[in-house]
Amino acid sequence: MVSASKKHYPVMLPEVLAALSPKDGGVYVDGTFGEGGYSCAILEAANCTVYAIDRDSSAEPRAAEIKAQYGDRFIFMRGCFGDVEALLQAANVEKVDGFVIDVGVSSMQIDEAERGFSFRNDGPLDMRMDNSSGQSAADIVNNYEQDDLANLIYEYGEERKSRHIAHKIVEMRAVKPFETTLELADAVRSVVYKSPKDKIDPATRTFQALRIAVNDELGELDRALDASEDILADGGSLVVVSFHSLEDGRVKKFVREKSGEISKGSRHLPQISDNIAPAIFKLKSRKAIKPSAQEVSENPRSRSARMRTAIRVER
């Protein structure tokens, strides 16, 4: 088996494998390849085929290593997981038996200061998962109007001090544009004070908001969820690991709506059951699965992870 990089720790790997239940001859999509933790584990679990997707060009050398080990059973596709249906069509794949997504930034990207994701290590204020195109975090921080910046930080970072942060950013960029991650982190920390009860850095939510905006992460997730209806074969598994409430809320809403678990409304109002769409998925559990205490102790980054799964019903 190809060993994973020391940097990489595939979150909730036993739970993901149990949900996918790889089988011989099956076809699976790893929507967020990263360093290949899920892909390798799936390939080891059964004599199956894995299509791995990643928008980050830095993932390609790792993909080449896994390709050398598993040959035609492993196919790497450069692109966004939100475009999974088009990518599979281009590869002449109609249906797959499982689709797993580990939403958000990878440990590899966080740990490389030059990528600009980390507020702990200084680097260029970038945050693009595909840094060959699109606006960077610096573009947003240095050019957005103050109200737009505050709204972005509040909506995507769920940061209550968003207006104070935006005001400070605009004040400081008038003197000198922001160029590095530590410049921005220090600006945020100057107006958001860490409570003794708060375990996260004051810059965490602002950096999250910028990363989500730069990479259209919520849009990618929505497109991938919609595509899962069509790409999964009957009985195929959708498995999504998310790391904050904005992601998990979207996944929860999607699987519950598509499984027919909709609100019945007030008992005093007429029920219009004729308009209920047939279920597309069935749920293994209504609750999100959390990482084990052992995993959290070994990998603190997993503490906020939540996994939701659904099974494609027969057409």
pLDDT in tens, 185-223: 999 999 998 776 767 889 999 999 999 999 999 999 999
Q: Which fold has domain 13-108+217-312?
A: Rossmann fold (3.40.50)
| Domain range annotation of the chain | 13-108+217-312, 114-215
Task: Report residue 299 as tokens.
Answer: 């990998």
Q: Given this model, what pLDDT does residue 270 score?
A: 52
The residue whose two tokens read 């769409």 is 277
Q: Given this model, what pLDDT does residue 6 score?
A: 42
Strand extents, DSSP E, the chain: 27-30, 49-54, 74-78, 96-102, 232-242, 281-283, 306-312
Paired with 180 in beta bridges are 124
Q: Please, which residues have CB within 8 angstroms of residue 237's CB and are 6 or more apart in sequence? A: 19, 20, 21, 97, 98, 99, 309, 310, 311, 312
DSSP-H helix ranges across the chain? 13-20, 37-45, 60-70, 84-90, 107-111, 137-143, 146-157, 162-173, 181-189, 204-215, 217-231, 245-258, 293-298
Q: Are 105 and 119 in contact (CB under 8 A)?
A: no
> Which amino acid is residue 181, in one-letter code?
T
Q: At residue 93, does pLDDT exceed 60?
A: yes
| Percent of the chain scoring above 90 in pLDDT | 72
Q: Given this model, what pLDDT does residue 97 score?
A: 98
- When pLDDT is cut at 50, 70 and 90, the band that residue 8 belongs to is low
Q: Which of 114, 195, 199, 210 is nearest to 162 (CA)?
A: 210
* Polymer length in residues for the chain: 315
Q: Given this model, what pLDDT does residue 301 score?
A: 82
pTM for the full predicted model: 0.86
Sign of the CA dihedral with 215 first, then 216, 221, and 224 last: negative
> Which amino acid is residue 114, in one-letter code?
E
Q: Which fold has domain 114-215?
A: DNA polymerase; domain 1 (1.10.150)
Q: Are 137 and 225 in contact (CB under 8 A)?
A: no
Q: Are 102 and 11 in contact (CB under 8 A)?
A: yes
DSSP-H helix ranges across 237-299? 245-258, 293-298
Strands 306-312 and 281-283: antiparallel
- When pLDDT is cut at 50, 70 and 90, the band that residue 276 belongs to is low
Q: Please, which residues have CB within 8 angstroms of residue 294's CB and are 6 or more apart in sequence? A: none
- 10 Å Cβ neighbour count for 280? 19
Q: Are 236 and 99 in contact (CB under 8 A)?
A: yes
- 10 Å Cβ neighbour count for 136? 17
